[in-house]
């Protein structure tokens, strides 16, 4: 299933919370939604989940408009809010059963769905506990179970890891990876960028309601290296239509920065203390070496142009010169560093 956010705008009085943003993602992928506080993430998520209406623009799920056909969209979308209501008179099983009934599950089908989701989220021991008595981590499990009870194709999550301890975050990451393997599309906002780095295939970055960048992590890296964010807006489709971004169209919509990004590869070589300078000089002799820096007298950071095979040959010249290298790493810019480079820290 393809999810497309097209020219989405949401205005509250004089405040433009979401300003003409467009992006897309497909099933089997986990996309992070990141931005400073007040950037418009929750507003966007609520519109995607049919809990709010856009001022203009729309969200399409395989061509079905969330504005025109919200009931149809709710059958394929699971929404996990940032917190679970603390009802004092309802048990976990009753809560999940209520939502199963709300989605039209009946009889043996409902019982099977409840048993499956309780087993998947490991809620068996908690099924008779009251919601208000649960810890933050347990409430997040129940919230995830509620979002999955009708087996949606798209899962939209608002800060699912907020307030969780390390073990609970690890369990959540594991569950999300399993869901992605089941070909569900997962879109989640989070301030814990190190967590997203481990599981996300791509990210959407917004600030002050405007889209700064969107794409796979490699696309974002290419955009940063190219120095220019990719254009991500597209023409507004008619209700029920989707834009074809496959084949030739995909090439036409590709980011110029991503296409023209320099092929510089960042590498780090660890050396015995005092020998880093000799390694630096040897790397500089090679024409593909763009720059080399030494840190703490035992670590060499270099940018090398070319393919992985060419980078290997450049590093090979160091070994050929009988210089000692204790370890060698091909560096990848992390999501947190990408976020810091793309955003400016502005708020609404």
- Give pLDDT, residue 18: 97
- Give pLDDT, residue 203: 93
- Give pLDDT, residue 101: 96
Instruction: State the span(s) of the chain assigned CATH 3.30.70.980.
Output: 264-335
What is the second-level CATH architecture of the domain 2-257?
3-Layer(aba) Sandwich (3.40)
- Give pLDDT, residue 347: 59
Express as a percent the part of the chain with pLDDT over 70: 85
CA distances from 162 to 45, 82, 159, 165, 208 (A): 16, 8, 6, 9, 22
| Residue-averaged pLDDT of the chain | 85
pLDDT in tens, 155-174: 999 999 887 888 888 888 89
- Of the candidates 124, 205, 122, the residue with the CA atom closest to the CA atom of residue 170: 122
pLDDT in tens, 38-75: 899 999 999 999 999 999 999 999 999 999 999 999 99
pLDDT in tens, 232-249: 433 434 444 433 333 333
Instruction: State the span(s) of the chain assigned CATH 3.40.50.300.
Output: 2-257
- Give pLDDT, residue 170: 85
What is the distance between the alpha carbons of residues 331 and 334, in angstroms, rounded to a whole number?
9
Residue listed under structure tokens 């955009």? 223
Q: Is the pLDDT of residue 33 over 80?
A: yes
pLDDT in tens, 283-340: 999 999 988 888 888 999 888 887 778 888 999 999 999 999 999 887 766 677 677 7
- Of the candidates 123, 192, 133, the residue with the CA atom closest to the CA atom of residue 164: 192
pLDDT in tens, 257-288: 333 333 467 788 999 998 999 999 999 999 99
Q: Write down the CATH superfamily of domain 264-335.
A: YebC, transcriptional regulation domain (3.30.70.980)
- Long-range contacts of range 276-279, CB-CB < 8 Å, 24 or more positions apart? 276/300, 278/323, 279/318, 279/323, 279/325
Express as a percent the part of the chain with pLDDT over 90: 59
């Amino acid at each position: 299933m393809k999810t497309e956010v097209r020219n989405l705008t949401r205005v509250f009085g004089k405040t433009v919370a979401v300003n003409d943003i467009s992006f897309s993602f497909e099933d089997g992928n986990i996309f992070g939604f990141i931005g400073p506080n007040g950037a418009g993430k929750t507003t966007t998520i609520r519109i995607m989940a049919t809990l709010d209406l856009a001022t203009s623009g729309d969200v399409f799920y395989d061509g079905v408009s969330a504005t025109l056909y919200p009931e149809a969209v709710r059958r394929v979308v699971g929404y996990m809010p940032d917190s679970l209501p603390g009802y004092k008179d309802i048990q976990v099983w009753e809560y999940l059963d209520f939502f199963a009934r709300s989605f039209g599950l009946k009889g043996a089908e409902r019982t099977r769905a409840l048993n499956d989701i309780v087993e998947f989220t490991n809620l068996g021991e908690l099924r008779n506990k009251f919601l208000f008595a649960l810890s933050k981590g347990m409430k997040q499990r129940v919230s995830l179970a509620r979002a999955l009870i009708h087996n949606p194709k798209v899962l939209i999550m608002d800060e699912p890891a907020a307030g969780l301890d390390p073990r609970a975050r690890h369990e959540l990451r594991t569950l999300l990876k399993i869901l992605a393997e089941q070909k569900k599309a997962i879109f989640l906002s989070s301030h814990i960028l190190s967590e997203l780095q481990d599981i996300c295939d791509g990210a959407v970055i917004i600030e002050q309601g405007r889209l700064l960048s969107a794409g796979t992590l490699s696309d974002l890296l290419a955009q940063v290296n190219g120095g220019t964010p990719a254009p991500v807006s597209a023409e507004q489709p008619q209700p029920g239509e989707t834009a074809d971004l496959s084949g030739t169209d995909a090439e036409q919509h590709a980011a110029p920065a991503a296409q023209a990004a320099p092929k510089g590869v960042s590498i780090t070589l660890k050396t015995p203390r005092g020998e880093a300078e000799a390694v630096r000089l040897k790397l500089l002799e090679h024409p593909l070496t763009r720059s080399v820096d030494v840190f703490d007298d035992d670590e060499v950071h270099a940018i090398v142009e070319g393919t992985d095979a060419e980078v290997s040959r450049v590093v090979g010249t160091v070994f050929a010169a009988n210089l000692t290298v204790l370890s060698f790493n091909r560096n990848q810019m992390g999501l947190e560093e990408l976020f810091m480079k793309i955003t400016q820290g502005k708020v609404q």
